[in-house]
Structure 1
Amino acid sequence: MLALLLVAASLLPLPSGLIDKAFHGRSGAYVQIDVQTGARYESDARASAVKVAPCSTFKIWNSAIGLQLGLVASPDAPFWKWDGVKRDVAPGWNQDQTLRSAFAVSCVPAYQALARQIGKVRMQEWLDRLGYGDRDISSGVDVFWLPAPNRKTILLSAVEQAELTARLARGDVPFSTRTQAELKEVMKVQSTAKGTLYGKTGTGTDRGTRIGWFVGYVVSGGKTNAFACRLEGDGVMGTDARKAVESILAGQGLL
């Protein structure tokens, strides 16, 4: 009986129907962790354990490593000089970037340049220290998080994503206090009267499945909840996952 009570105490209750409403009939997974107590919610335990490419959510950790190594001076210092290549996929990439602006527009070439500066050896060391997914960067230091046909990416689950952001939120990561503070500043998405949202989207097609990520945490009422949302389906984007998370958090009165 005691064991059953302990298991029950570890569950984070969410209002009925909240996930279905937010997902709009799409498949995927949502994980939420109370950073203070460790209580958690998983919309679908099997789906939450499926490992896929992180896509641009890896920019959270690419940013942290760059800041920690001194390769990025600060969130608003010059970060990447535009190479002059016009990229129609994202017009916001066609300009010089700070870390803050590159994170906001998810500028892939800027972060690829940072990954090359970090280098394979140091990147592997940091991912090992973080315990990031399956830690496999064999496809290349500047592409291992980006899914593409015939490319083996690093893989991690929604549970692992949420656990990592929970560690970040409580300061249980191998980065300096300054790095963590600057990273959180860059990750800030929005503030409302009820809470402040931090996170990063990611979009891609992994092994034939279109996925949209949004991972991060929310601070509300003196409490912090980490989360990871992965949606799947034709045309799905990271922005769809973000909207789903905002709906779920608003339904709990956290945003």
Structure 2
Amino acid sequence: MALSHLFSGFDLLTLQFLLASGCCVIAGGGVWAVMMLCRRWLPGIAAQRSVWLLGQCTIIAAFVLILLPQSERLRLLPPIDIEEFAPQRVDGSTRDAVIASATPSATAGAGPRAYLARTAQGWLLLYAAGLACAMARLLHTRRALLALAAAGRKTSAQPMDTIEVDAPISPMLFGLFRPRLLLPRHLRDFDADQRQLIVAHELTHWRRRDLQWASAGILLQTLLWFNPFMRLLRHQLSWAQELGCDRDVLRGRPQAQRKAYAAALVAQLKLQQAPIATALAFGNAPPDTLASRIALIRDPRGAMQSRWARAATVIGLAGVLATSLTLQPSLASQAGTQLSCTTLMDAASGQRLRHDGQCDARATPASTFNIVVSLMGYDSDILVDEHTPVMKYQPGQSDWNALWRTDTDPTSWIINSNVWFAQNITKQLGEARFQRYIDGFDYGNRDVSGDAGKRNGLTMSWIGSSLQISPDEQIDFLRKIVNRQLPVSPKAYEMTARILRPQTLANGWTIRGKTGTSSPVLADGRDDHQRQYGWYVGWATKGARTIVFARMTLDRRQEVYAGARAKQAFLSEVAARLDTL
């Protein structure tokens, strides 16, 4: 597929994945900064395992939220605009050529968009390879632990299998579903009280369900293996778990036993090899954390842990997450696309043939609503045939388009998307009948109340106002038209299909469709003159097969209406491939 025209759904997904990967690293830096402040000023909170796992979850959430379509609405920064070296302009002759040939005109692989797409695809492959390596290391570690346990000898009964091994390891607990305790033979040389405290330490891990906590931290680190802050946070989680066990084991014990416990920890560190990451070991005390652990062993009371301190930590992490989401730019395709969907469905079976983009996002239907108005008009006999009635233009009607300042019949109404013609039909229907049709059609959110306080639902509800519909809902509605499942007369179906001007493409498919263009509405109620929604919806028929389709975009306003650009893109990229669906 040519990447130099518009990204495919897969390309957009890989680009979004690339953006999510980079931004979650930035979010990780924010989380790490908050946690370091917490460790400096709130040491009692920093000693809790929950805050470090929560830190990892915050980074994961930042990564996942970027990939969610609806998160686009929460972002404050403008989208990253991915332009062509020489973007094509769509004029009338170009559109005519597209309709005739329905073949892409762009050259595959041209421009920076293609390089960016390849970079994103390369990163996805690298991520998959890194994830596979990380999982392979975990599997290798598990096999090593199992081999170590198999080579040892079971000793006295404990709440779990206890195995003595002749290896320079730390006393350790491993096994998420079948916990086992490994004790090195050199532990016999320790004082009896020290041995008892060391075993109590590992059993405390088991009672506190630290294996489950550690496994969660390792899983999250593995999923984002490329993020260095996930590894740092997981190490701190391990440190907090060891401190928690020290605190629980030493609670209420005399000073002599605490000194013996500290001496055992130092002696163990001198005897063991590097600790195994997937096990909970008495000697999991890197040099940079040994001092804090010894200090807590000497005085296990620790720092004060108030509810306010916990709340401050959670608020800090939530702030990092909110900031990372709102200040992350979204991706924009050619012409600054900020929202995009292309969806096709087999009209007979309901099978999805293509479903790319944010197809559940609702927007104003704009002039695609004229299909609905046509069905209502012909069903209620307000409209008679393709050229009857001819409605007289009256100055003061909705005439912001020069093409509308003339007498209009149903055919020219559909061609020119004449707003005042549609408004005349809905006015004749009246509010009650208009609402009954919309409810019977189950069209979008079915809200035809119009702008709040203006009582203009009959004339403006479908133009950047209360009525909203998603591409998914559009094709559900179009299927009902094609399969004649709406509460309207046969004449309404037949005449609507006639005035939609069928176009036969070079590949033999006949397309009936309707464009729509409208500006989004800003928070203050004004139209957003910088952006436009563009729609192209309808159905394509060849032989006995019919496919319903909807394409919708939200992008920067350009000289050519967004609806015309949506149609051109659909015909050039999708319609030529209908035979392959």
Shorter chain as normaliser: what TM range?
A: 0.7 to 0.9
CA distance in 1, matches of 2:440, 2:487: 7
In the TM superposition, residue 192 of structure 1 has moved relative to its aligned partner by 2.8
CA distance in 1, matches of 2:554, 2:397: 29
Cα RMSD, aligned residues only: 2.3
In the TM superposition, residue 187 of structure 1 has moved relative to its aligned partner by 1.4
Residue in structure 2 matching 1:31, options 325, 330, 343: 343
Residue in structure 2 matching 1:227, options 529, 544, 549: 549
- Note the alpha carbon deviations across 1:185-227, whole angstroms, 9 max, x for none: 1113412341111111110112345210011000024310000
| Alignment match, 1:250 | 576
More displaced 10-residue stretch of structure 1: 89-98 or 106-115? 89-98
Q: SS where residue 52 of structure 1 aligns?
A: coil
In the TM superposition, residue 24 of structure 1 has moved relative to its aligned partner by 4.4
Q: SS where residue 7 of structure 2 aligns?
A: helix
Residues 65-214 of structure 1 mapped to structure 2, 5 A cutoff: 65-84=376-395, 89-139=400-450, 140-147=457-464, 152-193=465-506, 194-207=508-521, 208=528, 209-214=531-536
The TM-score with structure 1 as length reference comes to 0.84
CA distance in 1, matches of 2:359, 2:439: 22
What letter corresponds to residue 576 of structure 2 in structure 1?
Answer: A
Q: SS where residue 551 of structure 2 aligns?
A: strand
Which protein is richer in strand relative to its size? 1
Residues 5-16 of structure 1 mapped to structure 2, 5 A cutoff: none
Structure 2 gap segments, 5+ residues each:
9-103, 105-332, 451-456, 522-527
CA distance in 2, matches of 1:190, 1:34: 19
What letter corresponds to residue 219 of structure 1 in structure 2?
Answer: T
CA distance in 1, matches of 2:569, 2:400: 24
Distance 1:88 1:123, change over 3 A: closer
CA distance in 2, matches of 1:86, 1:180: 28
The TM-score with structure 2 as length reference comes to 0.38
CA distance in 2, matches of 1:141, 1:217: 27
Which protein is richer in helix relative to its size? 2
- The number of equivalent residue pairs is 234
What letter corresponds to residue 413 of structure 2 in structure 1?
Answer: A
- Note the alpha carbon deviations across 1:23-67, whole angstroms, 9 max, x for none: 7473411110111221112102xx100111101110100111011
| Alignment match, 1:20 | 7
Moved over 6 A (4+): 15-19
CA distance in 2, matches of 1:244, 1:187: 19
Q: SS where residue 188 of structure 1 aligns?
A: coil
What letter corresponds to residue 241 of structure 1 in structure 2?
Answer: A
| Alignment match, 1:6 | none
In the TM superposition, residue 121 of structure 1 has moved relative to its aligned partner by 0.5
Contact 2:471 / 2:552 at 8 angstroms: preserved in 1?
yes
Contact 1:49 / 1:158 at 8 angstroms: preserved in 2?
yes
Contact 1:19 / 1:43 at 8 angstroms: preserved in 2?
no
